[in-house]
Chain A
Amino acid sequence: MQITEYYKAATVEDAYQRLNLDSSNAILGGALWLKQTSKPIQTAIDLSALKLNVIKQESAYFEIGSMVTLSQLYDADSLHQMTDNLLKESLASIMGVAFRNMATVGGSVIGRFAFSDLITPLLVLQAELVFYHQGQMRLTAFLDQKKPPKDILISVRIPTIKGRAFFKKVSNTVLDFSILNLAIFKHESVLIGVGARPGIGTLAQAMMDYLNHADKIDETVINEAVEIGLQTIQLSHNQRAQKAYRKQVLKTYLKRGLIEVMNCEH
């Protein structure tokens, strides 16, 4: 990581102007990922004076500032009560405490890491992103953008919807990146997200449509839904796992997770 100039922004507008002054200017989240990169940064813009490190509970949503660390989010008990510990479990699987004291929610979302254990649960919680310039958009819409414009993420909003949840990270060792991760959230309808396929997290739309239109949920319906999932969720291989292995793992945990959140007898 090479930085020519360090700049502590006084306002978000100030940070935005700086960011767009030069194509090699960059925002610093926790800078853990940036440290691993080799592209030189002209001006590294620090948002830490902008009070974006706060989690607020509004009536319709939780607002998580982009500079909130993964540890702060891990400690957000009222959010975890609402989401049946979905985020807490996913965060617990990301490295250790000292790491999570530094890594930020903003950097984790903007990085659009295919292995992300945070993006997958955020997808099923129907998270919205609030950008300084582009305004509010669904996380799904952001992930669909081919080349997102240079903007500043202000916060992530999670609607206050109570539900039951399941999370599973499969990895070769405890601290390794996911081979596959799976998040399921059930309230009036069920949402299913799969990440590290090794492609970036995605919603299992066909499977969700099938389950959300089923007259009743029993093991036969779940088995059928899992088959639909296996046929429609795109999986592939990388140095961590073969496609066939991912498929087996997905089959097992989709079924296990659905039985758990749908409250259905096995």
Chain B
Amino acid sequence: MNIRLRINGKWITFTVKPDEFLLDTLRNNQIISVKKGCDGSTCGSCTILLNNQPVLACSLLSVRADESTILTVEGHAEEVEKIAVAFGKEGADQCGFCNPGMALMIIALKQSHKNPTDDEIKHYMVGNLCRCSGYQAQFKAIKRYLEERL
């Protein structure tokens, strides 16, 4: 089946199988910033923005994304750069595998909450796991980014 996706501003046509998931469609076509962690909707590494909403690409059938707008970190380079600076300043980076999914989640958080409280930040980010960190440095980095102390 053919589907058409607007990925980071560019329309691309893909041929997909009925049981193909969007994460595989993207990664098989060199969009590899979207990470495959658990492949079972539990870790958040594969988070993308679909029509501006965060979803898990590992569990979204590609056919269902037909004619949608998709943003990965490459499509949000400016914001992602700021998030990276905040992460660096707080020492929140380790292996970095969880970062692309987390960055997109942080962008979605900023878009949906004006001044999120600490609890709102934690609640919003709970689905993004990091196997390296203890989350404290990332939490501080998210606050730094939202408060624009870069």
Contact = CB atoms under 8 A, between A and B. Distances in A.
Contacts of A71: 53
B57 to A, nearest CB: 9
Interface residues of A, number: 27
A98 B108 CA distance: 10
B126 A174 contact: yes
Interface in B50-72: 53-56, 59-61, 63-64
Contacts of B64: 28, 31, 46, 48
Interface in A194-239: none
A97 B42 contact: no
A1 B21 CA distance: 10
Contacts of A92: 123
Contact of A98 (B18, B21, B54): B54
B105 interface: yes
A93 to B, nearest CB: 10
A98 B47 contact: yes
B33 interface: no
Interface in A31-50: 31-32, 35-36, 41, 44, 46, 48
A174 B125 CA distance: 12
Given A1-B19, A31-B59, A31-B61, A97 B41 contact: no
A1 B17 CA distance: 12
A28 B21 CA distance: 14
Contacts of A1: 19
Contacts of A3: 18-19, 61
Contact of B61 (A28, A36, A95, A175): A28
Interface residue SS majority, chain A: mixed
A48 to B, nearest CB: 7
A99 B56 contact: yes
A4 interface: yes
Contacts, number: 73
A176 B128 CA distance: 14
Nearest to B39: A35
B14 interface: no
Contacts of B105: 97-98
Nearest to A3: B19
B23 to A, nearest CB: 11
A35 B59 CA distance: 7
A6 B17 CA distance: 9
Interface in A84-120: 92, 95-99, 101-102
Nearest to B40: A36
B12 interface: no
B97 interface: no
B19 A101 contact: no
A2 to B, nearest CB: 6
Nearest to B56: A98
B124 interface: yes
Contacts of B42: 95, 175
7 contacts: A96-B124, A98-B44, A98-B47, A98-B56, A98-B127, A99-B41, A102-B55
